[in-house]
A and B are shown apart, each in its own frame.
Chain A
Amino acid sequence: MTTATNTLPPPKGVWRLTFERFIEHRLAVASALALGVMVTAALAAPLVEALIGPADAVNLLARFAGPSTAHPLGTDELGRDNLVRLLYGGRVSLFVGLTAALVAAVIGTLIGLLAGYYGGRLDALLMRFTDGVISLPMLPLLIVLAALDLGKLGLPQAWVESEDVSLYRIIIIVALAGWTTVARLVRSSALALRARPFVLAAHAQGAGAARIMGVHILPNLASPIIVATTLATGNVILLESVLSFLGLGIQPPIPSWGNLLTNAQELIWSAPALAFYPGVLIFVTVIAFNFLGDGLQDALDPKALKRY
């Protein structure tokens, strides 16, 4: 008996198995690495700045300079170093993307959990609302929200115009567009969990609705929430870049990948390279988040249709 059990491989934990499944998805692994590099580079922006020179150092004698040792990616229309500005833009874009995705995840989880757990009328109401939001032409509405004058709501003008507010405002605006996917995924999972024996047992023991949702259902929703949030991060970064490109998101002089492209269209004839770098970074970041979400889905939900 003892010899037979000894021949079995040692048992693996859930996270170990999940990790092994994740490793199989090569694109997701590459994406995770790429995002790691991107975040590290963005965090290291002050170091690079110390090496190359301040991000806002204007040098009109060195406008549109090509790549050189002093400026590895050349300079922009004011002679500022492209690399340093891209890194600082990355800090802002990644910060906005991750924060907004988290806000979206919280809103979506709350709505999906309530709808899925209570079911019936509340479910119908919340999901009609979600479907209604999904069916709206989102971008034009977000543009209106971004253009609103918050001062008209009676908020102090100095506060409204501060840089921090423009940052929080764009976070909230893009989060408003990102929560629907999370809500739908969480709702369908919560709906299935509600009828499971362990939930019924908790109910029979006299646990209240809040306790059942918070302690028994929510931990089991980790997979869909993680996957939906990862996918939402990509979308949210894309949306932020669109709004900033149109001049409605992050306001210069704070650089973001989106607003670095705002001038690029006018300069397209004289400096096409300027239009290239920020877009590549947005593209790589968004596609990496999408692959990562795809890989996490396969790893966290082995029963689901295998993709890659």
Chain B
Amino acid sequence: MTRHLLDRLIQSAVVLAVMSFVIYGLMGLMPGDPVDLMISANPKITSEDAERLRALYGLDKPLIERYANWLGAALGGDFGFSRLHAKPVFEVLIPALGNTVVLLGASFALSLLIALPSGIWAATRPYSKTDYTVNLLAFAGISVPPFWLALLLIIVFAVLLGVLPAGGMGTVGAEGLWDTLKHLVLPVATITIASVGGHTRYMRAAMIETLRQDYIRTARAKGLPESRVVLGHALRNALIPVVTIIALDFGTLFSGALITETIFSYPGMGKLIFDAIMGNDFNLALIALLFATVLTLVGNLLADIAYVSLDPRISYGKVRS
């Protein structure tokens, strides 16, 4: 187990290292460069000044060397300065990260709370009307464009009914828990609807597969009530593949956050990344993208741990007697 975890940690570190280089390289290909941005703010700068600035900031050096310098600083805790926010990157990142964790955490929990029971419910009545309906709704959830869903929710609840705010995180002058919650409803609903379909289908498929096993027949033959068979015997095994797939889907969840946060102007990581890329804020975009990568990698690692602890048959690196 420890050995396996170590392997996975090293793997994740490799992915992260490769991604940091790739993203760093891509940032260099974004339109405009930092010196151009300074020139645009100050027309008196001559081309010699620009060259001097380039040399000062090390922009005339080869990519590898610039990357090495950046990496050294980043590892030392210096993430640079955000151009858009005029603050150190780290100070911008942390509150946004907190907001996204709240948004994704709530959506993820809500999605599972709906998906697991309905997946199980549908699986215990395969090919029935109920199953059919659940499947139809699940497909609808998977296929709906999340940004359009968000627009529809805004039209219905903010424009037509006027009961919920169309965006932001709080009303000025009316702050409080209730106000915060009201601002969370539509973004959370968007991400939940977009992810609940996939979760339901995974749960249903895994449950149907498990219910066909011999030990389930044994449990039924012993005369156990159906609820014990399903929830006691089948669920634990059916959850194993579900946990893996759902955790691998964490990247998708984050993509949902980017769209949702951008539309609802919710100040989280997704909006931060989008604004940073659009606003040529290279330092911020770079670190925020890497943070998002770390988040998904950590999600995958957690899934791996859950996978092992749910399934007693899997015991990495241990010889069983």
CB A248 to nearest CB in B, in angstroms, measures 9
Residue B26 CB within 8 A of the other chain: yes
Per-residue A-contact encoding for B245-267, CB less than 8 Å = 1, 0 else: 00010111011001100110000
Per-residue B-contact encoding for A122-159, CB less than 8 Å = 1, 0 else: 00000010001011111111011101111011000000
- Contact indicator A132/B15 (Cβ below 8 Å): yes
In the complex, which residue of chain A has the Cβ closest to the Cβ of B22?
A: A141
Residue B172 CB within 8 A of the other chain: no
How many residue pairs link A and B with beta carbons under 8 A? The number is: 141
Residue A241 CB within 8 A of the other chain: yes
Tell me if B's interface is mostly helix, strand, loop or mixed.
helix
B: number of interface residues (CB 8 Å): 58
- Contact indicator B143/A138 (Cβ below 8 Å): no
In the complex, which residue of chain A has the Cβ closest to the Cβ of B156?
A: A272
Residue A15 CB within 8 A of the other chain: no
Residue A261 CB within 8 A of the other chain: yes
Q: Which residues of B contact A269 (CB under 8 A)?
A: 159
- Contact indicator A279/B277 (Cβ below 8 Å): no
What CA separation (Å) do A138 and B147 show in the bound complex?
16
- Contact indicator B143/A137 (Cβ below 8 Å): no
Residue A291 CB within 8 A of the other chain: yes
Per-residue B-contact encoding for A239-269, CB less than 8 Å = 1, 0 else: 0011001100000000000000100110011
In the complex, which residue of chain A has the Cβ closest to the Cβ of B258?
A: A139
Interface 9-mer from A103-111, A168-176, A219-227, A280-288? A280-288
- Contact indicator B145/A144 (Cβ below 8 Å): no
In the complex, which residue of chain A has the Cβ closest to the Cβ of B14?
A: A132
What CA separation (Å) do A257 and B35 show in the bound complex?
37
What CA separation (Å) do A241 and B148 show in the bound complex?
10
What CA separation (Å) do A190 and B320 show in the bound complex?
32
- Contact indicator B259/A147 (Cβ below 8 Å): no
Q: Which residues of B287-310 have CB atoms within 8 Å of chain A's CB atoms?
A: 289, 292-293, 295-297, 300
CB A67 to nearest CB in B, in angstroms, measures 18
Partner of A265, one of B19, B31, B263: B263
What CA separation (Å) do A248 and B298 show in the bound complex?
29
Per-residue B-contact encoding for A21-34, CB less than 8 Å = 1, 0 else: 00000010000000
What CA separation (Å) do A272 and B158 show in the bound complex?
12
- Contact indicator A138/B255 (Cβ below 8 Å): yes
- Contact indicator A283/B151 (Cβ below 8 Å): no
Q: Which residues of A contact B251 (CB under 8 A)?
A: 134-138
- Contact indicator B263/A242 (Cβ below 8 Å): no
Q: Which residues of B contact A52 (CB under 8 A)?
A: none
A137-B296, A140-B258, A149-B31 given; name 5 further pairs at CB < 8 Å: A144-B285, A147-B278, A242-B147, A283-B145, A287-B143
Name A residues whose Cβ lies closer than 8 Å to a Cβ of B.
Answer: 27, 128, 132, 134-141, 143-145, 147-150, 152-153, 234, 238, 241-242, 245-246, 261, 264-265, 268-269, 272, 275-276, 278-279, 282-283, 286-287, 290-291, 294, 305-308
> Can you give 12 contacting A-B residue pairs, CB < 8 Å?
A134-B251, A135-B251, A140-B255, A150-B29, A153-B29, A242-B145, A242-B259, A275-B152, A276-B152, A279-B151, A307-B135, A308-B127
Name B residues whose Cβ lies closer than 8 Å to a Cβ of A.
Answer: 11, 15, 18-19, 23, 26-32, 127, 132, 135-136, 139-140, 142-148, 151-152, 154-155, 159-160, 166, 205, 208-209, 248, 250-252, 254-255, 258-259, 262-263, 270, 273-274, 277-278, 285, 289, 292-293, 295-297, 300
